[in-house]
Amino acid sequence: MTEMSDLGLMYKRRQGKVLRRVGGAAEGMLVTHLPDVRYLCGFMGSNGTLVLFRSRALLFTDGRYTAQAETEAVGTRVVTASKPAVVEACEWIEAAGIMCCGFDGTRTTVSELGKMQAALSKKLGARARSGMFVDVGAAVARLREIKDAGEVEVLRRAARVGCELFEHMLGFIEAGMTEMAVAGELEYRARLAGAESMSFETIVASGDRSAMPHGRATDRKIQRRGFLTMDFGVVIDGYASDMTRTVHMGGAPRSKGKGVPGQREVYDSVLEAQEAAISAVLPGVTAGEVDEAARSVLRRDGLDGYFTHSTGHGVGLEIHEGPRLAAKQTQKLEAGMVITIEPGVYLPGEFGVRIEDMVLVTATGAEILTPSTKAWIEL
Ligand code: ZN
Ligand code: ZN
């Protein structure tokens, strides 16, 4: 008998939860989405297929990853495949006598499913072959929505690094710098602070470019007027952080265009919307109700037509995961979820404002993981 570490026990627990979740529909599960594989066994390589069946877990990978998999995949048997990992995994499933294996239809392409079915031998017969793989939906992703204490701790650290970077940037940014230079400094500092990578391509959008919700940093020089929006995150121990702050570069915070709301008014409205949504966070409240809490403030101020995206998303091993906080979403929030709250208002050709925090859903409400100031800042 091999002794199992705490880590091994944690993965076994997660694997058991997946099997219980798919239990009614399938005997086991084939997991190919890499963040799911990492969540269930610790393997971080770029080629891995995990098979969960009864109390067994097998990780199929290729020769480049054998050594890495042996170290990372705790409590899981590693198989070095000479064929594509998913093909060998399917052959193993057949050989093990499994008749019905679950897969995540939200992550498996039609062509991948074809490969899985083609890996089964003709001996099985057409009927058994076509019945082998059953779509059990995003079983692992749903599990991943609720973070355990260890995951919350890592997310807390990643969020804290984000806040420290923002503080640093406040002392660094000056008019005349390019957006790219700002992003470069932020990303360099992130690496020094221990980030494995950025969570996504850093957004630095100045002046009228702040009206683009996803304005990547360009060689545009930052002017001494208007808004500067920074949306960024770091990856620490595999977990992503995500935050947005919008600061003002000076000059009259009024807009020139006729009928365009003032910059200060828009900022205050977005901030109020953001805080209203955070106040609405509570286990049992639907994602749609949190979205509506933000949207209704902007509606009151005649700005809801300029809020063109959803209010937030779950964050963890992936930068965008469940739950989705959008209009009419009926999914209920649960304690242990880590989500973003990020309303924004974008006036095309003029300016935009977005404010985003990461929050942990607790038994009594929300704990903000990114407590950097949201007060109006003029650099
Ligand atoms: Zn963001
Ligand atoms: Zn976000």
At residue 261 the predicted structure's pLDDT band, cuts being 50, 70 and 90, is confident
Based on the domain organization, do 151 and 122 belong to the same domain?
Answer: no
Q: Which ligand has an atom closest to residue 312 CA?
A: 2
Give the predicted TM-score (pTM) of the model: 0.94
Asked if 139 and 154 sit in the same domain, the reply is: no
Q: By C-alpha distance, which of 41, 36, 33, 38 is closest to 11?
A: 41
Q: Classify residue 111: in a domain, yes or no.
A: yes
Please report the pLDDT score of residue 1 as a whole number: 41
Using alpha carbons, select from 361, 320, 357, 360 the residue that is nearest to residue 35: 320
Pair (219, 124) in one structural domain:
no
Q: 113: CA distance to ligand 1 center in Å? A: 33
Q: Check whether residue 158 and residue 131 sit in a common domain.
A: no
Instruction: Looking at the structure, tell me whether residues 265 and 315 fall in a common domain.
Output: yes
Angle between helices 263-280 and 287-300 (to 10 degrees): 150
Across the range 354-369, mean pLDDT stands at 98
**What pLDDT was estimated at residue 52?**
97
Are 136 and 154 found together in one domain?
Answer: no
For residue range 29-70, list pLDDT tens digits in order: 999 999 999 999 999 999 999 999 988 999 999 999 999 999
Determine, yes or no, domain membership for 23. yes
Regarding whether 157 and 131 lie in a shared domain, the answer is no
Over 70: is that where the pLDDT of 2 sits? no
- Calculate how far, in angstroms, residue 263's C-alpha sits from the geometric centre of ligand 2: 22
Report yes or no on 117 lying in a domain: yes
Mean pLDDT, to the nearest integer, of 138-160?
97
Q: How far is the CA of 312 from the centre of ligand 2 (A)?
A: 6
Instruction: Tell me: do 128 and 272 sit in the same domain.
Output: no
231 Cα to the center of ligand 1, angstroms: 5
Whole-number average pLDDT of the chain: 95
What's the pLDDT tens digit per position in 267-294? 999 999 999 999 999 999 999 999 999 9
Lowest-pLDDT range of 121-130, 160-169, 292-301, 302-311: 121-130
CA of 314 to the centre of ligand 1 (A): 11
Domain containing residue 121: CATH number: 3.40.350.10
User: Which of 101, 124, 143 represents a domain boundary (last residue)?
Assistant: 143
CA 97 vs. chain centroid, Å, equals: 36
Q: Count the residues in the chain.
A: 379
Q: Which amino acid is at 174?
A: E
Is 299 among the domain residues? yes
Q: Are residues 258 and 114 in the same domain?
A: no
Cα 205 to ligand 1 centre (Å)? 13
Residue 358's identity, in one-letter code, is M
User: If you average pLDDT over residues 188-199, what whole number do you get?
Assistant: 98
Domain boundary among 80, 114, 143: 143
Integer Cα distance of 182 and 177 in angstroms:
7
pLDDT value for 257 = 64
Residue 232 located in a structural domain: yes
Same domain, 161 and 282: yes
In a domain? residue 266: yes
What is the predicted pLDDT for the residue at 196? 97
CATH number at residue 221: 3.90.230.10
Question: Is the pLDDT score of 252 beyond 80?
Answer: no
CA of 164 from ligand 1 middle (Å) equals 16
* Residues 6 or more apart in contact with residue 361 via CB below 8 angstroms: 281, 282, 283, 333, 334, 335, 336, 337, 338, 339
Query: For residue 244, how far is its CA from the centre of ligand 2 (angstroms)?
Result: 8
**Spatial distance between the Cα atoms of 324 and 21, rounded to a whole number of angstroms:** 21
From ligand 2's centre to the CA of 129, what distance in Å?
A: 41
Please tell me the total count of domains within the chain: 2
Mean pLDDT, residues 228-257 taken together: 90
Task: Give the relative orientation of helices 34-41 and 6-22 as an angle to the nearest 10 degrees.
Answer: 120
Looking at the fold, whether 282 and 138 belong to one and the same domain comes out as no
- Structural domain of residue 60, as residue ranges? 4-143
For residues 16-30, average pLDDT = 95
